[in-house]
Chains A and B, each alone.
Chain A
Amino acid sequence: MHISEGVLSPTVLIAGAALTTAGVAAGLRKLDNREIPSTGILSAAFFVASLVHVPIGPASVHLVMNGLLGLILGWKAFPAILVGLGLQTLLFQYGGLTSLGVNTLNMALPAVICYYVFGWAVRTRTRIFVFTGMAFGCAFCAVLISGIMVGFSLYLTGEAFLPAAKVVVVAHFPIMVIEGILTAACALFLRRVKPELLEGLYVPEPIS
Chain B
Amino acid sequence: MCQSPYRESNRTRGRQAVVCFLFIALGLGFGVFPAWAHKVTIFAWVEGDTVYTQSKFSGGKKVKKGTIVVYDKEGNQLLEGKTDDKGAFSFKVPKKTTLKVALKASMGHFAEWTIPEKEIAGVADSAGSRTRGGDVQVPTQQAASLTEQKATDEDSVAKAVGLSRGEIQTLIDGSLDRKLAPVLTMLSEAVDSGPSMSDVIGGIGYIVGLVGVGLYFTARDKRKDAR
Contacts and interface: CB of A to CB of B under 8 A. Distances in A.
Contacts, number: 169
B36 A51 contact: yes
Interface stretch (A18-26, A55-63, A118-126, A136-144): A55-63
Interface in B200-215: 200, 202-204, 206-208, 210-211, 214-215
Contacts of A208: 1-2
Contacts of B195: 51, 91-92
Interface stretch (B45-53, B76-84, B102-110): B102-110
A6 to B, nearest CB: 5
B207 A83 contact: yes
B208 to A, nearest CB: 7
A194 B204 contact: no
Nearest to A5: B110
Interface in B1-45: 1-2, 13-14, 16-18, 20-22, 24-26, 28-29, 32-33, 35-40
Contacts of B215: 33, 36-37
Interface stretch (B56-64, B163-171, B181-189): B56-64
B115 interface: no
A50 B38 contact: yes
Interface in A181-208: 186, 189-190, 193-194, 196-197, 207-208
B107 A55 contact: no
Contacts of B109: 3-4, 7
Contact of B37 (A43, A62, A83): A62
Nearest to B112: A6
Contacts of A189: 17, 20-21
B110 A4 contact: yes
A194 B13 contact: yes
A48 B14 contact: no
B199 interface: yes
Majority DSSP secondary structure for residues of A touching B: helix
Nearest to A55: B35
B158 interface: no
Contact of A48 (B29, B59, B104): B29
Interface in B173-227: 194-195, 199-200, 202-204, 206-208, 210-211, 214-215, 218-219, 221-222
A63 B28 contact: yes
Interface in A47-94: 47-55, 58-63, 83-84, 87-88, 91-94
Contacts of B93: none
A27 B109 CA distance: 29
Nearest to B203: A87
Interface string A157-179: 00000001001100100000000
Given A51-B29, A51-B37, A208-B1, 9 more contacts: A41-B18, A43-B210, A52-B29, A53-B59, A62-B38, A167-B107, A194-B17, A197-B14, A208-B2
12 contacts: A4-B111, A6-B110, A33-B215, A33-B222, A36-B214, A36-B215, A50-B37, A51-B37, A52-B32, A53-B38, A54-B37, A190-B17
Interface of A: 1-8, 31, 33, 36-41, 43-45, 47-55, 58-63, 83-84, 87-88, 91-94, 150, 153-154, 164, 167-168, 171, 186, 189-190, 193-194, 196-197, 207-208
